[in-house]
Chain A
Amino acid sequence: MSDTLLTVENLEVQFRSGSSTTKAVNGVSFSLNRKENIGIVGESGSGKSVTATSLLRLIPNPPGKITGGRIVFEDKDLLRLSDKEMRKIRGNEISMIFQDPSTSLNPVYTIGNQIVESIKTHQHLNKKEAKEKAIHMLELVGIPEARKRFSMYPHEFSGGMRQRVMIAIALACNPKLLIADEPTTALDVTVQAQILNLMKDLQHSIDTSIVMITHDLGVIWETCDKMLVMYAGNVVESGTVQEIYDNPLHPYTWGLLDSQITESVSSEEELNAIPGSPPDLSLDITGCPFAARCPFAEEICLKKTPEMIEAAEGHFTACHFQTKEHRLDRKEGKVHDRSNIKS
C-alpha cells in the first residue's frame, strides 16, 4: 500500500447565482500522506472551507458545483463514485468536524443517539454493542460521567463539551482522514488549548490524518506538518510548516505573518496591515489575484496569472518574482505607493 492517502488535483468549485458565477476554488492541488496533518490557512472567502467540504462532496448542488479536478482517496476517485458508495465513505473513512458546535448537533436527539447513529450506519454492531462503543468514545474524548451524559441533549453541554461530542462522532468509526473546519474558532482560548491537545492525543492513538482548516496561524503551528496558504480561491504557497515559517516566499504569506500580533510586536509601533480587501470572486480576475494588494506588483502581475513553481525543495509558490533564479527582498510591512498601478 502506498503512503499517499489523499491526492487533490486541480480542484475547481463554482457557485452560480443568477447570471454570475463565483469561482470559489480555482485549481487547488495537494497531497497528504498517512498520519500526516495538513493545514489550510487563509482569510474568509479564500475558499478553504469550500475545498474541505468538496473532499466529502458536501457542497450544496445547486448552487455549488465541482467543475473540475480529481480527488483521489487511497485508490478511489471520489468524484466518480456513486452516491451510495460515497455514503459508505462519509463518516466512516473520512469524517468531518465543523466550526460551530452549537449548530452541528441535532437539538432534538440525545448525544448518545447521535453517536450510535454513526456507529450503526457503518459497523455491524447490535444496539447494545453500539451503545457501549459510544460510551467508550465519550470517555475517550474526556467527557466525565460518560454513561450519564449519554442520554443528555446537546443544550445541556457547554461549547467545548459539544465540540468533544462532535469529535467523538467523527472518530467513532476510526476514520483514516479527519477534516476539521475551524474546530476551535468558536471556543475560548483555554478550551481551544484543551481541544487541540485532545486531537493530537487521539491522532496518535488511532492513526488518523487531519486536514485542518483555520484562519489562525497559531493553530497551524500547533498541529500541522504541511500547510497551504490560500488566497481568493488559489493556493499561493505550499510546503512544510517549518519551511514556510522559516522561509516564507509569497508576498501574501509575508503580509499574513506580519499582521499577526505577537509578543515581539511592541505596542509603540504600528501593526503591519495588508491594505485593501480580497477581490470579488464573481468577477473575472486576470493576472495574480493578490496583485491589487501586493506591494511588489508590477505590470506583468496584472496580465499573467503566475503558476505554482517549486522555488525551493518541496516548497511551492505562485509568484512571478519568486523563482529559483530570482528572489524578492522581504520588506517587512512596508507598503509602497501603488497609485500608479490601476487594477
Chain B
Amino acid sequence: MTEAILKVRNLKKHFYLDSPIPFKKSDQSVKAVDGVSFDVFPGETLGVVGESGCGKSTMARLVNQLIAPTEGTVELNGENLVNMNKEKLRVFRKTIQMVFQDPFASLDPRKTVGELIAEPLVIHKIGNKTSRKERVKELLEVVGLRGSHSGRYPHEFSGGQRQRINIARALALNPDVIICDEPVSALDVSVQAQVINLLKKLQKDFNLTYIFISHDLNVVRYVCDRIAVMYLGKIVEMGTYKEIYEDSKHPYTRALLSSIPKESPNEIKERIILKGSVPSPINPPSGCHFHERCPFAMDVCKVKSPELMDVGNGHQSSCHLLELENNPLSDIPIKKKEEEMECH
C-alpha cells in the first residue's frame, strides 16, 4: 500500500465561549471537532459528509492550518504542520490548496481575474510578470475559460464560471492536495455537473488528491473513493463509497441515506426519519452523541461512547449495535426493492 500523503491524528478544536468572569478562560466550549483521525492517500478523493454544524468545515480549516487546532497532529508528506514556524508553513501551504463554497464571496470584486489567479504566484514569488501572465492564461484554459478573460472582473461571470476561477486559483501552485469545501452546493444542477466533471478531469490530469466536503450524498457518492461520515465533531463511520452506500453499519448513516429525495415518482422509500435536529455541541448528549435521535438506542448508548471499530475492508464504524450478536440493522435492506418489483 502506498504511503498516505496526509495523516490526521486525534485532531481537536474546541472554541471557548465568553467567560462570565473577565480574564478567566470559560470552562464551556464548543467541541467543533473532537478527536478526528484519518489518512488520505495520493490520488484519491476522501468525502466528508454530515449535517450542518457537525464540524466538517472546521475540520477542513484545521487540516489547512487556517485555524490552529487545540490538540492533535496533521502530517503532510511526513511533516507535522501543527505548530510549524510560519516561514516553513508557507512553503508547505503550496502543496495544499482550498476551494470554498460561495463563489460570490470568495473572489475579491476589485481585482481582475488575471490578478486573482496570479495572486498565489506573487505571494510565493514565482516567475516574473510575463511568465505569470502566461501561466494565468494556461490555467484559465485548463478550467474551460478563455485566456482573454483575464482582464475581466468577477461580477462579469456566472456562479459556475466563478467557481472555475476559484479552481484555477487553487491550481496555480501545482498543489498535491485540494480541499473542496462544498464546491458545488451554491450551483444549479446543470452547472453543478459541469464543475464536477471538471474537478474529476483535473484529478486525472494532475494526479490531485481531494478532500471533498459536501452535504449532498449523491454528489459525494459520485465523486469520492472513500467517505467519512461526521456527527457532532466525530467521525462515526468511514469506508469506501461502496461499503458506506451498500453496507453501512451505523444508524446515522442509514438515516442520512434514507433521507435522500426520491429519484423517480414511482420509487417507494423506506425512510428512517430522525427526530429533532443536531443537538448543541456545547452540551452534547452523554455516551453516544447520537443516542437521543437514534431509533435503535439501547441503555449502554446513554452511558458509554462507542469507539471506531474495524468491520473489515477498511470500513470503520462506531456503534454499540456492532457488539450485539444479532444486529437489528442487518435486517433492514439499504437497497430499495423497486428493481425487484419491476422484475416480477
Q: Measuring CB to CB, which residues of chain A are less than 8 angstroms from any residue of chain B?
A: 43-44, 158-161, 188-194, 196-197, 215-219, 221-222, 241-242, 245, 255-256, 259-265, 267, 270-275, 277
Asked if B197 is an interface residue, CB under 8 A from chain A, the answer is yes
Q: Which of A196, A221, A272, A275 contacts B264 (CB 8 A)?
A: A221
Q: Measuring CB to CB, which residues of chain B are less than 8 angstroms from any residue of chain A?
A: 51-52, 158-161, 188-194, 196-197, 200, 215-219, 221-223, 241, 255-256, 258-267, 271, 273-274, 277-278
Asked if A277 meets B161 with Cβ closer than 8 Å, knowing A190-B255, A221-B261, A259-B192, the reply is: yes
* Contact indicator B197/A273 (Cβ below 8 Å): yes
B50 and chain A: residue at smallest CB distance: A188
* Contact indicator B263/A190 (Cβ below 8 Å): no
* Contact indicator A267/B188 (Cβ below 8 Å): no
Closest Cβ of chain B to A321, distance in Å, is 20
Closest Cβ of chain A to B287, distance in Å, is 20
Pairs A-B, 4 closest by C-beta atoms = A218-B261, A273-B193, A193-B259, A274-B190
In Å, the complex CA distance between A216 and B255 comes to 20
* Contact indicator B222/A267 (Cβ below 8 Å): yes
Q: Which of A189, A264, A277 is the most central at the interface, judged by chain B CB atoms within 10 Å of its CB? A: A189
Known pairs A189-B259, A217-B189, A267-B241 / 8 extra A-B pairs, C-beta < 8 Å: A194-B273, A221-B264, A221-B265, A222-B262, A259-B189, A267-B223, A270-B197, A270-B200
* Contact indicator B277/A189 (Cβ below 8 Å): no
Q: List chain A residues, Cβ under 8 A from B278.
A: 158, 188
* Contact indicator A265/B222 (Cβ below 8 Å): yes
Asked if A190 meets B51 with Cβ closer than 8 Å, knowing A43-B189, A273-B193, the reply is: yes
In Å, the complex CA distance between A270 and B204 comes to 12
A188 and chain B: residue at smallest CB distance: B51
A280 and chain B: residue at smallest CB distance: B158
B198 and chain A: residue at smallest CB distance: A273
Q: List chain B residues, Cβ under 8 A from A271.
A: 193, 196-197, 222
A214 and chain B: residue at smallest CB distance: B261
Q: List chain B residues, Cβ under 8 A from A216.
A: 261
* Contact indicator A43/B215 (Cβ below 8 Å): no
B262 and chain A: residue at smallest CB distance: A221
Ordered by A's residue number, 12 sampled pairs between the chains whose C-beta atoms are within 8 Å are A159-B277, A189-B260, A193-B258, A215-B189, A218-B262, A221-B264, A255-B190, A260-B189, A261-B222, A271-B196, A273-B197, A274-B193
In Å, the complex CA distance between A256 and B191 comes to 10
In Å, the complex CA distance between A270 and B222 comes to 10
In Å, the complex CA distance between A191 and B196 comes to 26
* Contact indicator A245/B265 (Cβ below 8 Å): yes
* Contact indicator B193/A192 (Cβ below 8 Å): no
A240 and chain B: residue at smallest CB distance: B265
Closest Cβ of chain B to A231, distance in Å, is 10
Closest Cβ of chain B to A195, distance in Å, is 10
* Contact indicator B217/A189 (Cβ below 8 Å): yes
Q: Which of B160, B188, B222, B271 contacts A193 (CB 8 A)?
A: B271
* Contact indicator A277/B197 (Cβ below 8 Å): no
* Contact indicator A261/B221 (Cβ below 8 Å): yes
In Å, the complex CA distance between A217 and B191 comes to 15
A225 and chain B: residue at smallest CB distance: B265
In Å, the complex CA distance between A272 and B51 comes to 27
Closest Cβ of chain A to B323, distance in Å, is 25
* Contact indicator B52/A215 (Cβ below 8 Å): no
A275 and chain B: residue at smallest CB distance: B194
Q: List chain A residues, Cβ under 8 A from B273.
A: 190, 193-194, 197
Q: List chain A residues, Cβ under 8 A from B192.
A: 259
A266 and chain B: residue at smallest CB distance: B222
* Contact indicator A215/B261 (Cβ below 8 Å): no
Asked if A261 meets B260 with Cβ closer than 8 Å, knowing A188-B52, A190-B255, A245-B265, the reply is: no
* Contact indicator A277/B160 (Cβ below 8 Å): yes
Q: List chain B residues, Cβ under 8 A from A263.
A: 218, 221, 263
Q: List chain A residues, Cβ under 8 A from B217.
A: 189
In Å, the complex CA distance between A160 and B52 comes to 11
In Å, the complex CA distance between A215 and B187 comes to 10
B259 and chain A: residue at smallest CB distance: A193
Q: List chain B residues, Cβ under 8 A from A215.
A: 188-189
B52 and chain A: residue at smallest CB distance: A188
* Contact indicator B277/A256 (Cβ below 8 Å): no
In Å, the complex CA distance between A219 and B260 comes to 10
A262 and chain B: residue at smallest CB distance: B263
Q: List chain A residues, Cβ under 8 A from B215.
A: 188-189
Q: List chain B residues, Cβ under 8 A from A189.
A: 51, 215-217, 256, 259-261
A189 and chain B: residue at smallest CB distance: B259
A161 and chain B: residue at smallest CB distance: B277
Closest Cβ of chain B to A324, distance in Å, is 24
Q: List chain A residues, Cβ under 8 A from B277.
A: 158-161, 188, 190-191
B161 and chain A: residue at smallest CB distance: A277
Asked if A190 meets B188 with Cβ closer than 8 Å, knowing A259-B193, A263-B263, the reply is: no
* Contact indicator B274/A261 (Cβ below 8 Å): no
In Å, the complex CA distance between A188 and B188 comes to 17
Q: List chain A residues, Cβ under 8 A from B256.
A: 189-190
Asked if A273 meets B255 with Cβ closer than 8 Å, knowing A221-B263, A263-B263, the reply is: no
Q: List chain B residues, Cβ under 8 A from A273.
A: 190-191, 193-194, 197
Q: Which of B196, B241, B255, B261 contacts A222 (CB 8 A)?
A: B261
Closest Cβ of chain A to B155, distance in Å, is 13
* Contact indicator A43/B193 (Cβ below 8 Å): no
In Å, the complex CA distance between A159 and B277 comes to 9
Q: List chain B residues, Cβ under 8 A from A264.
A: 263
In Å, the complex CA distance between A169 and B196 comes to 39
In Å, the complex CA distance between A215 and B262 comes to 14
